[in-house]
Amino acid sequence: MYPSDRIMRDYLCWRQADCHINNMYNTCFWMLVQKGGMTEKEAEKRLKVSKRATQKDPGASHVRRRAGADGGTLSRDKNELLFSEYGINYNAIEDIFKKGSVVIRDRELIDVVDKAGKSSKRSRGVVRTLHCDIIKDAFWNSHPEILRGKLTGAQRKEERARQREVELAAEASAAAAISKDAER
């Protein structure tokens, strides 16, 4: 039995969230070691909230609330550490590091010239590597075939319309280039 579309999407989104959590932790960790002069043990301790402290001290509930998914500090605390101590805006770090890589099979239009020399457009599959947010709906709405494999009739119609827009844009661009050349 194969997983449902929902389970597959949730799994992939979880992997991206995990990528973000690990990258943020490692970015902080290595900044503390390489630029902050801490040992690896000291950096690990700085990024971890003591579980014993929250269990022994009932007044330490604020510490428990601040614990992140990695059992340590929250993302906002790590963001603050990077910015205030090292001048790094984590949000400005390239998406490849924060979001990881997603490899998809996409379609692209190519120019084809037949034996008679007539030019036309054809659609072909192409593998693309993306570094984008797959947690939000926009990605899945743009690539419904990833989960479903095949497109519904309405999605095929949308895809044909999108391909036609690309064709028209390519034709307009070619016409503009010809016109520009003719002016010269």
**Could you read off the pLDDT of 13-59 as tens digits, one per residue?**
999 999 999 999 999 999 999 999 999 999 999 998 533 443 444 44
Give the phi and the psi of residue 103 in degrees, each rounded to 5.
Answer: -105, 125
What residue segments make up the domains of the chain, in order of their start? 5-98, 102-183
Rounded to an integer, the average pLDDT of 123-142 is: 93
Residue 4: what are its φ and ψ, rounded to 5°? -70, 165
Average pLDDT over residues 141-160: 75
Whether pLDDT at 156 is above 70: no
Instruction: Determine the pLDDT at residue 52.
Output: 41
CATH number at 5-98: 3.30.70.3000
Q: Span 72-86, mean pLDDT? A: 91
Model confidence pLDDT, tens digit, residues 50-70:
334 434 444 433 333 334 555
pLDDT of residue 58: 43
- Reported as a pLDDT band with limits 50, 70 and 90, residue 172 is confident
Q: Which whole-number Å values give the CA distances from 34 to 18, 63, 145, in the listed order?
A: 24, 27, 44
Would you state the pLDDT for residue 62? 38
Predicted confidence (pLDDT) at residue 183 exceeds the cutoff of 50: yes
- Answer for the pair 99, 131: CB distance below 8 angstroms, yes or no: yes
Residue 148, amino acid:
R
- Using alpha carbons, list the distances in angstroms from residue 108 to 98, 121, 157, 175, 180: 27, 10, 16, 20, 26
pLDDT-based confidence at residue 174 (cuts at 50, 70, 90): confident
* Residues 6+ positions from 166 with CB-CB distance below 8 Å: 109
Report the predicted TM-score, pTM, of the whole model to 2 decimal places.
0.64
- The whole-number average pLDDT for the span 75-83 is 94
Note whether 145 and 151 are within 8 A (CB): yes
